[in-house]
Amino acid sequence: MRSFWGLMRAYWFSDRWVEAWTLTLVIALFTALSSKAGVWFAEASGELVNSIAFYHDAANTTPLASLLNNAGMLVLLVVLKDAGFTGIRTFVSATLHRKWRGWLDSRFNEALLDTNHTHFHAQHGSSGTAAPDNIDQRVQESIKDMTGGAIGLAMGVMAVATSLYFVGRKLLESSAEVKGLEFLGSYGSAVLAFLAVAIYVPLNTWIAVKLGRLLERLNVRMQQFEGSYRGELTTFLRRSFHVAASQGENVQKTMHDRLYVDIDRTWAQLNIVNTGYRSFELVYNFIGARIVAYGPGLVPYIHNRFDLKGYITGSEMVNSLINQCSWFIHVMPSIAALRANSQRVTELANAIENVQRPQEFYSLTGCSDFRYDRQNPVFGLTIQKLELAHQGEDAAPFLSAANLRFRRGEWTFLKGESGCGKTSLIKAINGLWPYGRGTIVFPEGIDSFYAAQEVKLQQVSLKQLVCLPGSERDHTDTQVASALHRAGLGDFIEHMADESREGMSWDQVLSGGQKQKLVVARIVLQQPGLLFLDEATGALDPEGKIAFHQAIKDNCPDVTVISIMHEAVPPRSLSGAEFYHSIVTIADGIATKKPLAPSLPVELTTILAHPRPVEERWLRFPRRMRQK
């Protein structure tokens, strides 16, 4: 699906090919019937005009009955064609649209959300290629509009083919000799009709193509600007509290206004081109229906080769042929939109394909030479000759770790100034940092869990949120309830099956601290062997941080923990016992590991880890120290 035609045919050659081809053949059948009904309509129009023209003819003994019968037949054919054949075709094509879009959506959903973390890597551009903007818009709107537009255009092609057959055949059958073109015999009028269509339609199609290319460029720009504006609105609503707290409404408003200016300017240009195209199309339709369609049969009619009925019937069939062959002109705006949408979808497909081998992808824009391996769990996690860098072939490493080993059940505290690379180190261990080199060896058969500072919750049930990254079917209600209770969220147990509470999603219901307690519930339930805490207790008070660590210590006895916190010293239990066994210090771009050996008295490090009011802290010192 990395090219336009590959994208167009993928569904028809997938595991759903029976469904796709069945719906397509039904559409083709009713398109053919609609085209045949167009011939019947032209004949009925000729009969009606003939009955009007000879209404007062003495030979016409039943003029009113003939007029009403022909009018009734014409109305019946309109109902049969538009409400019957065309209506059924519209329903089937809408069904095909729904099925095709659903299939494509599922393919992109699977591709983006695979174990390779493609959704993450696809948002990084490579050398000479920008990352696809507004992926959400491409998956949602572009796929929908592309599939709908493609089906409409395909039906237009079918209509042209069937009309050329049915209408062309009827024109040949009813053709007459034309004065001056006697060498064509009885096919003279038919040749004139075909010649008029062959000259008029392609010439105007060329004009339509020129305008269509301009429409395509404007459509692409419009989608980009609309996607950026919608993306910013979505982000703003998620950080609404922060905007309010910082009184940043004026800055946010300025940002929205700036983004909308691009939409408005492009929209104005689109309106001008669309208006021009619409005017061109109206003039084209009038000349085609009233001059080109009626011109070829006029010569044989003047020379008495046709009667009025034959002239009207032939002209209506030429008009029908022009209309059907002009589908390219009528749908040029749709073609422009289709090309714009397909371009955005194929760009996304290419971006997905390019990052299937992340290290090869990142090697295009910098050094990316990480090696991940497995070893006996007894040896824990090992990091060897690790260097982290930013994008660029000549980028110097900002963090180096020659040899770090984390034993099974060991708790390690990462310490360093802001921006020194603590989070980057954890990302690199988990395969989420793009540039650098080194070897990371994981304990075999051990599951890992990465808990970040900011917790964003999907709109699913509370039980599913606790069961992540697994499915809610993997654990019983009792197991999940127990995990919630141990994490300090027992009040929500009765709402485990709910996706919302009082009309709000769980992301809105739970506070920052409660979300981090939810992470504890996940850890307790999942029982990982390797746990990464990236400021995962940032929203908790000192007592909450102790409870967070204690819950993990009590319920995951053999877990290896690597943790980042802002505290000067790691927290201790209420009894004063250390949670952490070692510390990794990052200074001057070098990461070194050593056992945690506090240089301050136990009483003082305990107070630093768990701050309390001044009076209470002072009373915790032994009497002899207070006297000093």
Query: What residues contact 68, with CB distance under 8 A and at least 6 apart?
Result: none
Q: Evaluate if residue 628 carries a pLDDT over 50.
A: no
DSSP class of residue 36 equals: H
- 197, 297 Cβ separation under 8 angstroms: no
CA distance 309 to 47: 6
pLDDT at 95 over 80: yes
Residue 329 has pLDDT above 80, yes or no: no
Closest to 587 (Cα-Cα) out of 417, 437, 436: 417
Tokens, residue 234: 């979505």
Q: Output the pLDDT for position 597.
A: 63
pLDDT of residue 581: 93
pLDDT bracket for residue 126 (50, 70, 90): low
Give the mean pLDDT of 241-264.
82
Tokens of 454: 């900011």
Over residues 62-68, the mean pLDDT reads 87
Pair of tokens at residue 421 = 């690379």
What is the amino acid identity at position 555? N
pLDDT of residue 614: 40
Distance CA 220, CA 340 (A): 5
Q: In the chain, what are the domain boundaries? A: 4-356, 368-457+510-608
Query: What's residue 624's pLDDT?
Result: 42
* Amino acid identity for residue 333 in this structure: P
Cβ-contact 406, 529 below 8 angstroms: no
Whether the bond between 542 and the residue before it is cis, its omega within 30 degrees of 0, is: no
Two tokens, residue 20: 């796709």
Poorest-pLDDT segment among 163-177, 416-430, 556-570, 592-606: 592-606
By CB atoms closer than 10 A (0-12, 13-18, 19+), residue 404 is buried
| Non-local CB neighbours of 571 within 8 Å, separated by 6+ positions | 542, 545, 546, 549, 565, 579, 609, 610
The pLDDT score that the predictor gives to residue 611 is 47
Best CA proximity match to 466, nearest among 442, 440, 488, 437: 488
Report residue 127's pLDDT band, with 50, 70 and 90 as the boundaries: low
> In Å, what is the CA distance from 531 to each residue of 54, 212, 320, 413, 484?
93, 56, 71, 12, 19
Look-up of token digits 């110097």:
396
- Least confident range of 73-77, 327-331, 344-348, 476-480: 327-331
**pLDDT above 70 coverage of the chain, percent:** 92
pLDDT at 626: 40
pLDDT of residue 625: 39
Average of per-residue pLDDT across 474-490: 92
Q: Note whether 368 and 435 are within 8 A (CB).
A: yes
Count the neighbouring beta carbons within 10 Å of the beta carbon of residue 612: 14
User: Each residue of 340-354: pLDDT tens digit?
Assistant: 788 888 888 888 888
Q: Mean pLDDT lowest for which of 28-37, 507-516, 595-604? A: 595-604
Whether residue 223 is predicted with pLDDT greater than 80 in this model: the reply is yes
pLDDT at 140 over 70: yes
Average the pLDDT over 612-625 and give the result.
43
Residue 128's pLDDT band (cuts 50, 70, 90): low
Q: Which structure tokens are listed for 371?
A: 């090696």
Per-residue pLDDT at 620: 43
We find that the CATH architecture of domain 368-457+510-608 is 3-Layer(aba) Sandwich (3.40)
Torsion sign across C-alpha atoms 8, 10, 13, 14? negative
**Is residue 165's pLDDT more than 90?**
no
Q: What pLDDT digit, counting tens, does each position of 557-615 carry?
A: 889 999 998 888 888 998 888 999 999 999 999 999 999 865 444 444 454 444 444 44
| Span 194-213, average pLDDT | 82
Q: What is the mean pLDDT of residues 169-196?
A: 81
Tokens 């000479």 correspond to what residue?
128
Mean pLDDT score of the chain: 83
Would you say residue 207 has pLDDT above 90?
Answer: no
Structure tokens belonging to residue 222: 């419009």
Query: For residue 410, what are the CA distances in angstroms to 205, 407, 521, 547?
Result: 73, 5, 21, 19
Lowest mean pLDDT among 143-157, 394-408, 522-536: 143-157
Mean pLDDT value of segment 106-119: 86
Tell me: the pLDDT tens digits for 298-313? 878 887 887 887 888 8
Q: Which fold has domain 4-356?
A: ABC transporter transmembrane region fold (1.20.1560)
Lowest mean pLDDT among 88-97, 153-162, 364-373, 610-619: 610-619
